[in-house]
Structure 1
């Protein structure tokens, strides 16, 4: 399993614009070959205008249920190579962890599915549909079209989405809540063109100060989101030690937390607003002139149970209402992604908890939330309302997904593979 994972890591399958997408094609072909080698007879590479996904199907034995296994084979760009301790596309082991781009997110998820299939060989006790997406990191733009096109082929009793993580090393988890996302741009304009800062400054506002005041209005003095109408809900009864969180986040000494309430609520079940970038003149070479226009990209993570469209409407209302000094405000939507809340009760979830506890030597899994977003889970819920959806994964607090030196704990990877094989065996005992 590890050797095949290392070979997958060597393929830089980045679906972002501007990258060589032939590598994404190679990645899809490699996954298809792995599925065929794991005893899946019907394997196809499919697309709906985007990057290639892989669908593999093996019919259920008479009377047995069917399980859909989801992961994605594309990866994030590597960012600043200087921050990597080794080549991102050569898997390297250090201190029991395997390092490389995509080694955890989500090629280990792909390999966990392959491991479960290999564990049974020709004696697979359930039907399986394997769906490996090819552009999850780039926003899954074609995923809904794919799901609707192949809805009948993908129908299942249980859906396992291997794109999350566990609470800690040695402590498994089921992800039962994920925040949604609203991304957009806000532009402020105060002048037709730049003008002399000495001749006009003091009476005419510049766009950067205006934009700064506007985006500062998104939070109150305590750091809580100040946009009205956004949902806040209680979170799981888990304690997230502050020192552990500070270390995992890489917070500098003396930097304070923002917001109020328990950490897990601030991270999982309350809204969060971030400013991801600003378009403005760079400091190098900036003239002594009032800036006429400035633009910021905002990102809102929204609580499970809220509506992405309603949150965007609330942002539009707030930004228009709070625009300083009559500045002209233009707001543009980039992305809406719905949050997700899973009722993790029932036979399939009982089977998962038993499988996890066995693989982790008796450590019972906890239910946890995720501050990040996987909007397509809501699509799965909509298209397959009768299926039990299990959100699992291989990541741990030290994984560093999307950042430099992404890594996989090899011991946890073994437990994840074991747990999925045990899960299939237990699901086979459930009524179809």
Structure 2
């Protein structure tokens, strides 16, 4: 910090929506050992800034007292887009008596990681995050549009994997790479996705908490880099009506810490019972964790039939039409790709939810269905069609309550219900178009 002449420190905490909350401190004050305090209510604030009624929820401080936030110095890095030398560090939340705050997303993910660690296993994940670049839009009543690239024209049509379409925004991506390198964030690949000015960044595989931190910081980095070029970057699941939605696919595997072997593969290279039970756990419990994987009303607009997004919990080998894909790989790299989560999900909660489903499958020795060959897009919906349906399934699933804890399940469900009520107070253009003079 001294060698970089850091003036300020951003003390940040991811909330339930994956939004960075916290305080900005002078570096001199940060190192005096003074503890950062913030009210517990930051963990039950909705995306609109409202609060659900939680008077009956056990273990919550009705006086909304302060929590203690301690820095995780493994996350300390530069804030490269600031004009003054600034650092950032992610903090963890604790009660005054030293107990972790079970509502905090980082602790939710740690809780799931510990379940694997009790068996001597280390879960490994690799997220893929899709997002759109759009023209600045200051009036929410107007639809989003693709931005103007270096050619002076906006994109039209599908340009999947197009290098020239990526080159349209080379200066922006140069900044993203520079900002990422300055923060120690490791990008594996950058590609153009199906939609107009829709991109995807793939991250290298690693420990779940570390990768969730990276996604959390990447989202902020991409938005900041885009703003520098007078462009918005959005991680909405379905930002443009006639374009594909944006996903956050999660590749998952498990390593035996003693042997270093992939738990999904036998010594002879064949898949293990744990591999199939992990898949079965996803099939059994993904519908019940949908409100963590698709957390907003808009998220469910992405899950449309005959699109790239899955609508079911079938699985298949190298099959992108199902919710659970097994990519082609060598036995030591055998993994399961969960294609259900949307890019608007909190990365800590989405990774925790996905791993928890697989964990429950292994714990209960579940058996998956037969793999799907060919397209599954014509098959019935297995996933909830809307947020309220998803929240109800989440609240009613006792195995998930055991994994995440009653308090987290109750509070998270209340947040989502409050967000739905806020949405219902908005009259949409569709209603004015079709109901105003016809009913």
TM range (shorter): under 0.3
Which structure has greater strand proportion? 1
Q: Which has the higher contact order (CA 8 A, sep 6+)?
A: 1
Give the TM-score taking structure 1 as reference length: 0.27
